[in-house]
Amino acid sequence: MTVAAPIKLLIVDDHDIVREGISSILSQEPDFDVVGEASDGPTAIAAVERLHPSVVLLDMRMPGPDGIEVCREITTRFPNVRVIILTAFLDSDTINRCIQAGAKGYVIKDVERTDLKRSIRDVAQGEAFLDRKVHAVVVERLKRETERNRPVLTEREVSILKFMAEGFTNRQIATKLYVSEGTIKDQLQKIIDKLGATNRVSALYVAAKEGMI
């Protein structure tokens, strides 16, 4: 039976006591190998190049380049190295910037030991990991963005969609709304464009999915 190689870890934090504490916790695991530590961005990047870690635990705030810049450089130069941001900051903009920079995990520093270890194993296997607190922030941000980006139709446009759903033709809808058939065709095209649809059928599908009709 072949034994899997241990997960090589690099711990990056500007506080000695934090690095030592994390290293002490993780070194107890047989499948973890803490290959190095660094206290700032440039040292971390040099260590990645020299030690070839599987996963980098990276603090957000350090002297010199911040964690986001360091994360971006590591993931760009060393695409096989996976970065987990380990920080005290829990705001949606920072989380989003870290994800955009290539971080595969985002963990708050008061994380339980078992969750920290699980995050490392998940990320090492190619999965993404968000701390439960982080997950709640991300979900809330996505909800706000979805609501902000939701298509907005006028009452007339909603009426046209509802008539379409009932099977009325453009001419019949025009008669009911006291406008020309050409006007209905123009308004229908605007509706399709607003909904990001390609035709009448897909417009109805999107509108129904969004709860508009």
Note the pLDDT tens digit of each residue in 44-74.
Answer: 999 999 999 999 999 988 888 889 999 999 9
Q: Is 56 helix (H, G, I), strand (E, B) or coil?
A: strand
The per-residue pLDDT for 49 is 96
pLDDT band at 1 (very low <50, low <70, confident <90, very high): very low
DSSP state of 90: -
Note the pLDDT tens digit of each residue in 70-114.
Answer: 999 999 999 999 999 988 877 777 877 888 889 888 888 888 899
Dihedral angle over CA of 52, 57, 60, 61, nearest 10: -80
Question: What span, in angstroms and rounded, lies between the C-alpha atoms of 114 and 116?
Answer: 5
Domains of the chain: 7-146 (3.40.50.2300), 155-209 (1.10.10.10)
